[in-house]
Amino acid sequence: MSDAPGDAATAPGTGSATGGGWIARFVRNRAAGNVLMVLLIVGGVLAVTRLDVLYLPEIDWKQIHVTVPYPGASPAEVEERITKRLEQGLKGVEGVDWIASRATASFGEVTLHVAPGGSSERVLEDARAAVSEIEAFPPRNAERPQFVRRTADTSTKMTLAVSSSSASALYLRRAAEDLREHLLALPAVSDVEFQFAPNREVRVEVDEEALDEYGLSVSEIVRELNATSLDRTTGELTTSVGGVVPRVRERRRTTGELEEVVLLARPGGGIVQLGDVATVRDELQDTGVVTEVDGIPTVLVAVKHYSEAVTDIEVVESVRTMLESYEPPAGVQVSVWHDILLNTLDGVNSVLYAGIIATALVAVALALVLDLRLAMWVALGVPTSFLGALLLFPAFDLVISAATLFALVVVVGIVVDDAVVVGESIARQRELGLAGADAAVSGAQRVFRPVALGIATTMVATVPAVFTEGAIGQVLNVLPIVVILTLAVSMAEAFLILPNHLAHGGEWSRWPLSAVQARLRRELDRFRDERALPAIDLAVRNPRWTVLAAVGIAVVALALVAAGVVSIGYQPNRASDRVLARLTYPAGTPLEVTEAGARELVAAAERANDAIEERPIAQTGMVVGHHFTRPSRTSLLGRQFDTNVAGVTLRLAPDAKRSMTPEQVAGHWRDNVGELRHGGSLIISPSPAAESYDLTLALLHPDEAVLAQAVRELAATLDRIPGVFQVDHTLDRGKRHYELKLTAAGE
């Protein structure tokens, strides 16, 4: 884009220097440009206060999970009766790229990988229909299939820790339920869930002697409980005064209510209640799960919200306001374990900080070579264009995220370049003798077409990102929209607002700044005449060498990528405030062994923290029977409690209070762990990728013996590669099973 006056034609619709085009109208009406700028700035600021804030949008991983719990079944039984039958029934589902299955003790899962361009919702519905048509499925004693579309769960806004070092597990659970009731009363909260916590159950222990005394049986007690403890609504009855709906509300929920259930009425008028023949206890399910924060028993309470009408900021603020006045039961403390807003703002603020620094550097660079007045108005055009684009975000269902802010940072240079071209063109017209409004209108008109063409070219170049497939496409598809909105607003700012401001008044630069500017301009002119122009002339006269040089640069760039010097990833490494560890022992490992291993990890973290002067670890969370995982709407999250798995999470101190990165903390922690006993496998990594491996290989073979041998040989080979510190596989000995055969006496 050139700013030379030349003989560039006037842009259509812009009018001449004294005409009535849009540029001339805004230049000669001093209020018009200011009103438009104020509208963009104030409107953008108001829009920001209503926009939701996310680090990344909710990602559809194009996976459908079909899970079937099968209590008591061996992996072989699960494979034969669950996963194989599911695979056969799901083969005809349209839009599926490939199918994977996993059979473990008491649990079967089939994963449908949606083909590129396919609809996860459509595949989910078709999968439901296909499974419903499988004959005699699920088998007896198996639970109903569950269908879940895997997405990154952004519904959990906060996680609160309800802790007590002295209260019983049941008392702690009741305290968490009390907190849940207060949270559900908030309009901004949609749901509250307990994480890794066993459910409450009412246990009835019958006294056999009392049964014999009253002539009762266990089956009679069960039948009486089913008949008397229920809520039921019948059909509507039509009466002379209107419709009436009879309803029974007799469900017994507490131990006292159940003890009062009448089992037997005596002829003399006496009654026998459940409390006379049984002991009723309110207890927790014996799952064996252990959850602690800083060594104190804890129940983690997840606060969720699903509606887009309320922003994350409003949800978090309402919960924090409630906590300020909330009084937990005696001996119980409530703290914030996870706050999505803080984590999101950290990621967003890092991008925002980069944008502010870029804008400031642009302003300083412009002030060194351009008149201070021109530099100021050009630099002010950057935030004006950004706020104007933010004003339009709601119309396109956009939010403030790292992706949208990154798009804004990308176009900073283009926005500034267009404004500089217009400003320099206006300055050139002044040098040629025009003054005031005439110079502003003429200068803007002369570069309208090249600037508009450059902006249009950039807009078109970003459009292919809309059609990018996969998870990265779901992140990038907002970039073209943001770029187009920002460039459109910057176009209006460069041709309607900037000429208005440059049409009135003189230069602002004074000594010594004017002397510095003059010196830099002379040096730039000398570089142009002595270096740049000869290089351009050489390139034009030798096109072959120019093409070869371009090809050479491209080859070097590709070589850097191939050599791993420039890495390729789905997203840049995001600063985290967590370090996660996943501990997995062979199936069937006793809970005591797993808990001991988890406590070894906690002790290793404490040793690492004590060895570092700044003590970067703020809190330590431990769960036995499950893993701390990334939030993900799959059937496995929170579904099973296994005695052979555990997780430990380190919550780090704020960035302002530590200099160590999460990767460095993870390294120190790993160094303090040492060797794991009982053949356990361990993954330690900064969140949110602690549950993933750097490389995963899948081996296929119909013969299990051949497959097992291949897995062991491959694992041994990989373990010898320098730089590989851990190799895991899904081939383990599993739980021990006893096969019983009935003798003649048993038959």
Q: Residue 128 corresponds to which tokens in the numbers above? A: 């439901």
| SS3 (DSSP) at 683 | strand
Helical packing angle, 513-527 and 340-369, nearest 10°: 80
- For the chain, how far is it from start to end, CA to CA, in angstroms? 95
pLDDT beneath 70, residues of the chain = 1-20, 55-58, 151-155, 229-236, 239-243, 245-253, 268-269, 307-309, 343-352, 354-355, 471, 505-510, 567-576, 629-641, 656, 679, 687-693, 732-738, 746-747
Every domain of the chain and the residues it spans: 60-151, 201-231+251-284, 578-693
d(CA 226, CA 317): 44
| Pairing assessment for the beta strands 333-339 and 191-195 based on DSSP bridges | unpaired
Cβ neighbours for 359, distance < 8 A, ≥ 6 positions apart: 379, 382, 383, 412
The answer to whether residues 594 and 624 touch, using CB atoms and an 8 Å cutoff, is: yes
Quote the pLDDT of residue 230.
63
| SS3 (DSSP) at 438 | helix
d(CA 365, CA 367): 5
| SS3 (DSSP) at 590 | coil
Q: Do domains 60-151 and 578-693 have the same CATH topology?
A: yes
Express each pLDDT in 545-598 by its tens digit.
889 999 999 999 999 888 877 766 555 555 567 888 888 888 778 888 899 999
The answer to whether residues 491 and 455 touch, using CB atoms and an 8 Å cutoff, is: yes
d(CA 734, CA 12): 77
Express each pLDDT in 447-500 by its tens digit.
888 888 988 998 898 888 888 777 677 777 888 899 999 999 989 888 888 888
Task: Tell me which residue has tokens 């190799």.
Answer: 727
Express each pLDDT in 86-109 by its tens digit.
999 998 889 898 898 888 777 888
Q: In this structure, which topology does domain 578-693 adopt according to CATH? A: Alpha-Beta Plaits (3.30.70)
The answer to whether residues 139 and 92 touch, using CB atoms and an 8 Å cutoff, is: no
Quote the pLDDT of residue 737.
64
> What DSSP assignment string belongs to 284-342?
E-----EEEETTEEEEEEEEE---TTS-HHHHHHHHHHHHHH--PPTT-EEEEEEEHHH
Q: According to the CATH classification, is domain 60-151 in 3.30.70.1430?
A: yes
148 phi/psi in degrees, rounded to 5: -135, 135
Range 527-534 contact pairs with CB under 8 angstroms and sequence separation of 24 or more:
none
pTM: 0.66
Quote the pLDDT of residue 606.
93
348 phi/psi in degrees, rounded to 5: -65, -40
Q: In this structure, which topology does domain 201-231+251-284 adopt according to CATH? A: 3.30.2090
576 phi/psi in degrees, rounded to 5: -125, 160
